[in-house]
Amino acid sequence: MRESNSRRAAGMPDQLWSQHREAALNWLAFGLLLAAWNAADDAQPAARRPEALRGYSQVSVRAVERSTAMNLAAGASALPSRR
């Protein structure tokens, strides 16, 4: 069987090309594994948005943290002290 011109020009033997192909397939398999892992449903449900922010289609992390902190502060002042 004849060698292709590109392999001869690059000076790479057939074994190196097959190893390169195997490495590329390994990276592809790894990517598919990560995609499946990300798509998997966890046992815990995702945290819901605070009530005040549910009407918005997009919410920043800062807005959620601020709303949560305000709710916690309001809840703490409403609780009776433990004395």
Q: Where are the domains of the chain?
A: 5-39, 49-83
pLDDT (0 to 100) of residue 11: 63
CA distances from 35 to 17, 27, 29, 41, 65 (A): 27, 12, 10, 12, 28
The residues near 17 (Cβ < 8 Å, ≥ 6 apart) are 7
pLDDT (0 to 100) of residue 12: 62
Question: Mean pLDDT in runs of 10 for the chain (83 residues)?
Answer: 57 72 93 90 72 84 87 66 50
pTM for this prediction? 0.35
